[in-house]
Structure 1
Amino acid sequence: MASGSVKSKAIRPRDAASVMLLDRSRGAVRVLMGKRSKAHVFMPDLYVFPGGRRDSADNRAQWAGNIHPTVRESLLVAYRRRAPESRLRALLLAALRELHEEASIAVGVPSADTRTLPFLPDLTNLRYIARAITPPGYPRRFDTHFFALFADEVGVDPADIRDSRELEDLTWIDVNDISAVQMPDITALILSELRTSLEFDASLPFGRPVPFYHTRHGRLIRDLL
């Protein structure tokens, strides 16, 4: 290394999770998306799914319904069977917590203990759809796990959504026509994976292989978990 040069420290990706909440009440499947505030350092003014990083509190949160066994197995594979059960469950808990914080949607059983959430999250119906790690060079990097959930399966009214400081202009987007909004390239790729899964079986059965997007020597790689 040349004298006086400084070697930049690689940013380690942080665990994160997103929910693709799906509405199939009108025939064509729609997915809930919102625009990130322009104040965000990471992906400002772009439309994304509700979601965010896993917090330490998610590891200790209570729940009403546990992870589906096939989702648990895929997550174990993703972490090379080195992650404790609490970390795997915390990913899904983070996804539902963020859905509540960003869209005022509660998926679970009402709870009197409001120190964290006013409900106990039900993880049962979350399908594991994809995983993606932010490439090096971004000011933030995340190891994001994308889960899908049908609104009607969990009693969510598609009209009962509210914008937040985190996500503005919450809207339902036809998964087959995403031209109306601007989104990150990886989000478009994940939506493509969702479309493929829906075309294979519109019920999104559990147990399908999970695509994993990451970079190697500057190239985008797609593997399967």
Structure 2
Amino acid sequence: MGAPDARLRRVTTEAPIRDAATVIILRRDAGETRVLMGMRGAKAAFMPSKFVFPGGAVDLADADVPLAARLRDDCHRRLVDPDGQNSPHTIAVAALRELAEETGLLIGQAGKSALAGYAEAGLMPDASALRYLFRAITPAGRPRRFDAHFFIADAARVHGDPDDFSRACDELSHLHWVTLSEARNLDLPFITEVVLAELSQLIAGLPHGSPLPCPASVPFFDNRTTTPTFSQIT
């Protein structure tokens, strides 16, 4: 029996694709809109030394975390994927949990929760603040692959001081608010650059204090197969 085909070996050894959620917090209190970013560690297995938005992989326990308010109907509908691993509820919980872990910032309403950070503050995570912006699956050949869902939320929905990162874990360093134009000069992953461009287009001309809009559709970079595709989730 001959040696296995090299292409088959690549396929069978590919890293599994895990659901992930990211939250882009927008601060629109003065001047140009700012977003919260931090830098991944130099030894990180995924995107080392890159500036990114807070986020990470979905945990199994996220499915059992109750929410004070669910996602908007349009966001929930666009997150439904018959081939997906997790429900919209679970992905939203992951987004809010990762935000709390990596920045210490909480988006919630008064209530009881076992989720770290929220429990101590007497809050339940609130997914109604999230707006679904972008979806992208990591291309093949990377050491880790994610089906990443990007959300935006207004800093006005953050409980407490948006400059207080004292409860953040050490996964992201140099946490700071940066204008959209300044963000483009940072060392960014390619997909983060694309998401920033999409965000800039969405909020162009948006008056300060007005509610964050939902996009008319959600761009989707799909790299589940060897042939990348781009579509819009409506």
Specify if TM > 0.5: yes
After the TM superposition, which residues 38-77 of structure 1 pair with which residues of structure 2 at under 5 Å, given as runs?
38-76=42-80
Q: Which of 30, 34, 40 is matched with 2:34 structurally? A: 30
Provide the C-alpha distance between the structure 1 equivalents of 2:101 and 2:126, rounded to a whole number of angstroms.
16
Q: How far is the alpha carbon of 1:179 from its aligned partner?
A: 4.0
Q: Which of 171, 182, 195 is matched with 2:176 structurally? A: 171
Matched, 1:109 2:114: no
Provide the C-alpha distance between the structure 1 equivalents of 2:152 and 2:41, rounded to a whole number of angstroms.
23
TM-score by length of 2: 0.84
TM-score by length of 1: 0.87
The answer on whether the counterparts of 2:133 and 2:214 sit within 8 Å (CA) in structure 1 is no
The answer on whether the counterparts of 1:70 and 1:207 sit within 8 Å (CA) in structure 2 is no
Q: Which of 199, 204, 212 is matched with 2:212 structurally? A: 204
Which of 155-164 and 96-105 deviates more? 155-164
Name stretches of at least 5 consecutive residues in structure 1 with no aligned partner. none
Q: How far is the alpha carbon of 1:161 from its aligned partner?
A: 2.4
Cα distance, 1:200–1:213 mapped onto 2, change above 3 Å: farther
Provide the C-alpha distance between the structure 2 equivalents of 1:5 and 1:211, rounded to a whole number of angstroms.
35
Q: How far is the alpha carbon of 1:88 from its aligned partner?
A: 1.0
Matched, 1:144 2:148: yes
The answer on whether the counterparts of 2:105 and 2:162 sit within 8 Å (CA) in structure 1 is no
* One-letter identity of the residue aligned with 1:105: L
Q: How far is the alpha carbon of 1:110 from its aligned partner?
A: 4.5
Cα distance, 1:125–1:12 mapped onto 2, change above 3 Å: same
Aligned residues: 221
**What is the root-mean-square deviation of aligned Cα atoms in Å?**
2.5
The answer for the alignment partner of 1:161 in structure 2 is 165
Q: How far is the alpha carbon of 1:113 from its aligned partner?
A: 4.7
Provide the C-alpha distance between the structure 2 equivalents of 1:196 and 1:146, rounded to a whole number of angstroms.
15
The answer on whether the counterparts of 1:20 and 1:149 sit within 8 Å (CA) in structure 2 is yes
Which of 48-57 and 154-163 deviates more? 154-163
